[in-house]
Structure 1
C-alpha cells in the first residue's frame, strides 16, 4: 500500500513570494510546478518533493517539518552558510548542538529556519 508510494512534505508560508525567494536564493531550488497562485511544488532527489502553500498558520510548528539526507553534512552547511542560511543551536535533554551540529550514534544533524519559520533539517548517517 503506502510503502510503495512516493511521499512529499507540505510546508506552510505566510508570504509565498518571500518563500519562493528564500528557496531560490538560499537553497538553490526552483519550483517545478505551480498548483495555484498561492502554492509551489519543488522536486528533489530520487523522486521526492515538497509543496509550499500560503496560509496564515505558517511558522507555528515547533518541530522539524522537513529534512534532506546528505553524505557530507559539513560541505552542505558551508555552502548554505555562504548563501546566508543560519543554523540553529539547541541545548535540550538528549539534543545539544555544537556549531549547529548534533552528533549521536545515528549520525549528525543540523537545523535551520526558512523565511516562513519552518524548521528544516540536514542529516548525515554515521
Structure 2
C-alpha cells in the first residue's frame, strides 16, 4: 500500500511569513499557503516536482542537520546568486571552506562540493555540486 502512495517530507519553522519570503522570494521555489486561519502551513514545490510541507511551531528548535539539499550544476554561480540575495553561507569545524563558503573535495573523489546556509528559522539547507 505505501509503495504506491506519494510521500513528502516536512519541517517546522518559527515564523511562517519569513519562511514564505525566504523559500519563495530568495530561493525561487513555488510556495502555496494552505490551511484555515490558525492552522496555516506552506507547501513548497521543489525542482523536479517534489513537495515539502512547512509548518509553524511555537517552540521550534532549528534542525541540527541538513533538511534540504539542492543539486546545482554550477555551485559557484548558485552561491554568488544567493549571496547577492542576502544569503550568508555557514562554515563548520572540520570542513575547510573557500572564501565563498564552499567545501570542495581535495581531488580524491570524496564527494561533491557543498555549501551550507540556514533559513530564517535556523534550519540548515545545502547546495551540492552535480558538475
Confirm or deny a common fold (TM above 0.5).
yes
Question: What TM bracket, shorter-length normalisation?
Answer: 0.7 to 0.9
> What is the alpha-carbon distance in structure 1 between the residues aligned to residue 114 and residue 67 of structure 2?
14
Match of 1:21 in 2: 21
Match of 2:72 in 1: 70
Contact 2:11 2:55 in 1 (8 A): yes
Contact 1:25 1:83 in 2 (8 A): no
Deviates more, 1:27-36 or 1:95-104: 27-36
1:125 aligns with 2:130: yes
Contact 2:74 2:130 in 1 (8 A): no
Match of 1:34 in 2: 34
Instruction: Please report the TM-score for the alignment, with normalisation by the length of structure 1.
Output: 0.83
**CA offset at residue 33 of structure 1?**
5.1
Instruction: Please report the TM-score for the alignment, with normalisation by the length of structure 2.
Output: 0.80
Any gaps of 5 or more consecutive residues in structure 1? none
**CA offset at residue 2 of structure 1?**
6.5
**CA offset at residue 6 of structure 1?**
5.0
SS at the partner of 1:66?
strand
SS at the partner of 1:23?
helix
**CA offset at residue 118 of structure 1?**
0.5
Match of 2:103 in 1: 102
Q: CA, structure 1 residues 47+25, in 2 after alignment: closer, same or farther (shift >3 Å)?
A: closer
> What is the alpha-carbon distance in structure 2 between the residues aligned to residue 121 and residue 7 of structure 1?
21
C-alpha RMSD of matched pairs (Å): 2.2
SS at the partner of 1:91?
coil
Structure with the higher fraction of residues in strand conformation: 1
